[in-house]
């Protein structure tokens, strides 16, 4: 799925990566604390899906207002505050079926137990 989306956008930054799963050569890891970095260019964001996802969506939206294009792979949690506060300000593409994630160091794929969406924030 990433390759398909990257072919459309041409990402220049992976905002939520690790040394083992970065998608483009320019990336931020947990140690870099992407939430306090400036994001520029065309950004891929697959944020942590825990309680801080609202902070990530706010950051993605804010960075788009400074000129970045941010493409987010997120759970389609349409009943949450972060969805209404931020995701609904972007272009939403719902994903048919369940996303399969590869885990570093493990064979096989694991399907997400929830629906997902791509949310795109573009600069005004």
Predicted local distance difference test score (pLDDT) of residue 79: 96
This prediction's pTM = 0.89
The answer to whether 102 and 64 are in contact (CB under 8 A) is no
Predicted local distance difference test score (pLDDT) of residue 72: 98
Domain 2-121 CATH assignment equals 3.40.50: yes
Domain map (residue ranges) of the chain: 2-121
Model confidence pLDDT, tens digit, residues 2-53: 999 999 999 999 999 999 889 999 999 999 999 999 999 999 999 998 899 9
In angstroms, rounded to a whole number, what is the distance separating the alpha carbons of residues 67 and 1?
25
SS3 44: strand
The answer to whether 91 and 61 are in contact (CB under 8 A) is no
What is the residue-wise DSSP string for 43-81? EEE----STTHHHHHHHHHHHHHTT-EEEEEEE--TTSH
Model confidence pLDDT, tens digit, residues 59-111: 999 999 999 999 999 999 999 999 999 999 999 999 987 676 666 555 556 76
């Amino acid at each position: 799925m990433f390759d398909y989306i990257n072919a459309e956008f041409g990402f220049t930054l992976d905002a939520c990566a690790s040394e083992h799963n970065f998608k483009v050569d320019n990336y931020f890891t947990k140690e870099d604390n992407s939430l306090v970095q400036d994001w520029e260019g065309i950004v891929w964001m697959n944020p942590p899906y825990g309680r801080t996802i609202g902070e990530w969506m706010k950051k993605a939206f804010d960075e788009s207002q400074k000129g970045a294009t941010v493409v987010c792979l997120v759970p389609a949690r349409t009943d949450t505050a972060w969805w209404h506060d931020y995701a609904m300000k972007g272009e939403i593409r719902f994903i048919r079926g369940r996303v399969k994630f590869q885990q570093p160091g493990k064979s096989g794929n694991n399907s997400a137990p929830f629906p997902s969406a791509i949310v795109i924030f573009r600069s005004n």
